[in-house]
Amino acid sequence: MTPQPYQVLLAGGEGEIIEKKSRFIATTMPIKSEEDAIQFINTMKKKYWDARHNCSAFVIGRNHELTRCSDDGEPAQTAGRPMLEVLLSENIHDAAVVVTRYFGGTLLGTGGLVRAYTAAVKAGLSNSTIITKLPGTKLSIYTDYNGLGKLQYLCAKLAVSILDTLYTDAVQMDLLVPAETYPKFIKQATEATNGKATFSEGESVWYGEIKKEIKIFSENTSNA
């Protein structure tokens, strides 16, 4: 079964809203473990030691295997849970968020708190860098010069990234093939070169596109 794409934070950010003179400051951070999340939350509590509340939520795993949230003194279910629901509804993974509240003197009520914490998290995410991680396979193709143009055309057609091209007496193309496209690409590449191309399959990886550049993540698709 082909792994499904999912979204993660590439870089954290900060957003702020004001609700009836209360300041809600949302800070997001990419994480890989519960220990990362706890360390981040504690760091935010130290940074905003004079705030009334530092509520938190985090999600870990490609399938949201671990989720946690804290109201940090706010009425139950008015802060941490709504914050967590934003991460889940936005399909964000491996991320933590802390919303710091400086009380403005006016009670917001349970509905007002839910809306404020929800809006704060969305503001924080809007100032974060979010990337979609896609499953793919590295592939090297060896062909003669007659097949080069056909393979370049095929790569453009099927959104296959050309990582490198080596020119000697033949041509070696190092590619990153989307997982869902892999069988089709092999078939069409074979047909395009009349069976003359040879293939060397590499590792399965997760990758994403950032400002039209490909970033390959260190973990492979079997344990991400």
Please report the pLDDT score of residue 211 as a whole number: 79
95, 127, 159: which is the final residue of a domain?
127
Ranges 33-42, 162-171, 194-203, 207-216: which has the least confidence: 207-216
Q: How many domains does the chain have?
A: 2
Query: In the prediction, which pLDDT does 104 show?
Result: 87
Q: For the segment 43-67, what is each residue's pLDDT rounded down to a tens digit? A: 999 999 999 999 999 999 988 999 9
φ, ψ of residue 154 to 5 degrees: the values are -65, -40
What pLDDT is attached to residue 220? 61
Identify whether 82 is part of a domain.
Answer: yes
The reply to whether 64 and 20 lie within a common domain is: yes
Are 88 and 142 part of one and the same domain? no
The residue from 110, 127, 144 where one domain ends is 127
Average pLDDT, the chain: 93
Tell whether 76 and 58 lie within a shared domain.
yes
Residue 223 has pLDDT above 80, yes or no: no
**Residue 108: domain span:** 6-127
Stretch among 77-81, 82-86, 192-196 having the lowest mean pLDDT: 192-196
Which of 98, 127, 156 is a domain's end point? 127
Residue, of 70 and 104, whose pLDDT is higher: 70
25, 121: one domain: yes
Provide the pLDDT for residue 78: 96
Three-state DSSP state, 13 = coil
- 85-104 as b/e: b if 16+ CB within 10 A: bbbeeeebbbbbbbbbbeee
Q: Does some domain include residue 1?
A: no
Q: What is the per-residue pLDDT for 212?
A: 80
pLDDT, one tens digit per residue, over 114-149 is: 999 999 999 999 999 999 999 999 999 999 998 999
> Would you place residue 210 in the very low, low, confident or very high pLDDT band (cuts 50, 70, 90)?
confident
Percent of the chain with pLDDT over 70: 97
Whether residues 45 and 103 share a domain: the answer is: yes
Same domain, 93 and 11: yes
Q: 139 and 122, same structural domain?
A: no
- For residue 117, give every residue at least 6 positions away whose Cβ sits within 8 Å of its Cβ, in sequence order, or none: 24, 55, 74, 78, 79, 82, 83, 99
